[in-house]
Structure 1
Amino acid sequence: MKTVFSSTEEQEQEIASLVSRFYESVFPKYFTESEILHFREIGVLEPNQSSVTYLATLRDAFQVMTCLQVLMSILDKQKRVMEPKSEELFQHNITLLNECGIFFPFYYDHFSSINHEANSDMQMMHIQVANQYLV
């Protein structure tokens, strides 16, 4: 007999937060708004329909959280320095996500070019206003 611990509500919330950050911060740098909407429709970063074991254990939940954090870290560093092992690490974490039942149908190459149109829109959102009344 093997004893396992189930995932906690806090882990579920953290995973939901990481997925939200992907959709709000990461995807807009690389994809258009219509592509991101399509990702939501097809269930990117959601449990696979055939997966019964999604986050069933404490270990799986930690695995998913760690993979999402590593992927975000690689994509953040990609703007500054392209490391040779980044692609291998990126693919390894995608494999782990898929093994945990999380649908992530991308490769490293999908994130190789920044969507300049979306990037300029993101920059406009962070501009400080000069006059309070013009907000």
Structure 2
Amino acid sequence: MKIVYASTSEQELKIKNLVEYFYTSIFPKYFSEEDVTKFEKMNFLNVLGKNELNGTLKESYQIISSLETLIFLIESNGLEKNKYQQMYERNVQILEELGLSFPFSHEQFLEQRDFCLEADSVYIKTPGNFVM
């Protein structure tokens, strides 16, 4: 007999907040509002909560770690280095294996676009509104 521990509500909230961070702070810097809307409709990172995740304690930690690592790699502008590209790919693979669709290559996060033109975007949150 094997005992499996379910994810906690705190872990589920943390995952939800990290996914929200991608949609409000990461994606708008690299993609148009139209693109981000498409990502949402296509349920990337299970933003709509439609896909049933396995929900074990271990898997939740893996998802949280992978999302945090991807955020760090993207925000640190380290994806130009080969070793960080490999780390990026490994964390994307982990997310995919755990049921979260993240179909983006590291190249898509190498150059930020001028998102100031979309200051009224529904995805961009004002500073201080996001709790991680």
Query: Does residue 61 of structure 1 match 2:82?
Result: no
2:75 equivalent in structure 1: 76
Q: Counterpart amino acid of 1:85? A: K
The alignment-based identity, stated in percent, is: 30
Equivalent in 97, 100, 103 of residue 99 of structure 1: 97
Conserved 8 A contact 2:66-2:92: yes
Conserved 8 A contact 2:7-2:56: yes
Query: Does residue 2 of structure 1 match 2:2?
Result: yes
Q: Counterpart amino acid of 1:77? A: S
Q: How much does 1:115 deviate?
A: 1.1
Conserved 8 A contact 2:73-2:79: no
1:129 equivalent in structure 2: none
Q: How much does 1:4 deviate?
A: 1.0
Unpaired segments ≥5 residues, structure 2 = 120-125, 128-132
TM-score with structure 1 setting the length? 0.79
Q: Deviations over 1:74-129 (max 9, x none)?
A: 00111x7843311100000000000111111111112122112x15656xx67xxx
CA pair 76-7 structure 1, distance change in 2 beyond 3 A: same
Equivalent in 74, 77, 90 of residue 88 of structure 2: 90
Conserved 8 A contact 1:87-1:108: yes
1:34-53 alignment runs, 5 A limit:
34-46=34-46, 52=52
Unpaired segments ≥5 residues, structure 1 = 127-135
RMSD of aligned residue pairs (Cα, Å): 2.5
Q: Deviations over 1:42-84 (max 9, x none)?
A: 001108x9965x1420000000000000000000111x78433
Distance in 2, Cα, partners of 1:70 & 1:94: 10
Q: Counterpart amino acid of 2:89? A: Q
